[in-house]
Amino acid sequence: MRLVFAGTPDFAVPCLDACRGSGAEVVAVYTQPDRPAGRGRKLTPSPVKQAALAAGIAVYQPDSLKSAEAQQALAALQPDLLVVVAYGLILPRKVLAIPRFGCWNVHASLLPRWRGAAPIQRAILAGDAESGVDLMQMEAGLDTGPILLERRTPIARNDTGGTLHDRLSALGADVLAEGLQRLRARDMPAAVPQADDGVTYAHKLDKAEAKLDFQRPAIELERQVRAFDPWPVAEGEIAGERLRIWAAQAIDIVHHAVPGSVIAAGRDGIDVACGQGALRVLAVQRAGGKRIGVMDYLNARPELRRAP
């Protein structure tokens, strides 16, 4: 079986490894063009490109797959299957029709909930109890195709965008490996259409969303801190200083303080009054500094220390 893989970020690398270990021939990898990164804004290849080159696989990086030339180049590879994982480019109908078995997508949510670009973070922000990955037969709509296989995982109270990302990345590789094995054995399960109810969209993250509004309930801000770790990282003002807030937990207390004011600060953390409850800040980052625990921060600002 001739297989073409399309993906870009770290999330997709375990799925590329699963393809390579499936017994299929990975004849090419498609990934987005190199982008500027780091302080020097040097052009940097994607994680998938780096993995492909290390494995000796041909890499294609078109700006789009809409042109006849790009589509002809893909067709010339004669793929039996195209596997797409966080590729970042839209696949036109003509591309979907090229492989003999069509195109598969590994998506990091339990569809139809959280179609779109940022399903991992949106699930945490919404307080979902579980997430998962779906292996989907692609069609023209945005994440609307029927489901072939699925894996589920609970979202723990201490899960961050980073920890859930890593777990779903591994689950995605598992479900893809099973799908490829069953395809080779001609034992694929029937594709199950997505439900019409429960459709939600996971819109792309915006840095502006990282700002904490202490008028809101503390539990919502806790989810915001967790979801935006490691990017874009939540930000909030504490006693007049804007900080990046890396870790925090909601405290269910009744208070009469003004939202945003510090009501306690010590070894346990800095408790900031919210519209409902308080947010206990545990790890912060000052402008130009690095991530530090709250005690290190209080050592620099001893005037904030106060008992509850």
At 98, which CATH number? 3.40.50.170
CATH number at residue 211: 3.10.25.10
Tell me, yes or no, whether 271 and 129 share the same domain: no
Instruction: From 158, 177, 202, give the residue that closes a domain.
Output: 202
Tell me, yes or no, whether 146 and 286 share the same domain: no
Strand partners, 36: 43
In terms of DSSP bridges, do strands 269-273 and 262-266 run parallel, antiparallel, or are they unpaired?
antiparallel
Tell me, yes or no, whether 165 and 253 share the same domain: no
In this predicted structure, the answer to whether residue 52 has a pLDDT above a threshold of 90 is: yes
Q: How far apart are CA 78 and CA 96, in angstroms?
A: 13
pLDDT in tens, 223-246: 999 999 999 999 999 999 999 999
What confidence score (pLDDT) does residue 189 get?
A: 87
In this predicted structure, the answer to whether residue 306 has a pLDDT above a threshold of 90 is: no
Instruction: From 140, 175, 202, give the residue that closes a domain.
Output: 202
Instruction: From 178, 202, 226, give the residue that closes a domain.
Output: 202
Tell me, yes or no, whether 182 and 245 share the same domain: no
Tell me, yes or no, whether 235 and 267 share the same domain: yes
Look up the domain containing 211 and give its range. 207-304
In this predicted structure, the answer to whether residue 78 has a pLDDT above a threshold of 80 is: yes
Tell me, yes or no, whether 273 and 186 share the same domain: no
Tell me, yes or no, whether 24 and 96 share the same domain: yes
Tell me, yes or no, whether 222 and 263 share the same domain: yes
Binding site feature residues: 109-112
| Residue 308 pLDDT level (bands cut at 50, 70, 90) | low
Instruction: Work out how many domains the chain is built from and give that number.
Output: 2
Q: Look over the chain and give the mean of its residue pLDDT values, rounded to a whole number.
A: 96
What confidence score (pLDDT) does residue 37 get?
A: 85
What confidence score (pLDDT) does residue 307 get?
A: 66
What confidence score (pLDDT) does residue 157 get?
A: 95
| Residue 158 pLDDT level (bands cut at 50, 70, 90) | very high
Amino acid at 107: H
Tell me, yes or no, whether 8 and 154 share the same domain: yes
Tell me, yes or no, whether 234 and 185 share the same domain: no
Tell me, yes or no, whether 193 and 211 share the same domain: no
| Residue 187 pLDDT level (bands cut at 50, 70, 90) | very high
| Residue 38 pLDDT level (bands cut at 50, 70, 90) | confident
pLDDT in tens, 108-148: 999 999 999 999 999 999 999 999 999 999 999 999 999 99
Tell me, yes or no, whether 73 and 150 share the same domain: yes
% of the chain surpassing 90 pLDDT = 95
Binding site feature residues for (6S)-5,6,7,8-tetrahydrofolate: 109-112
The stretch 23-48 carries a mean pLDDT of: 94
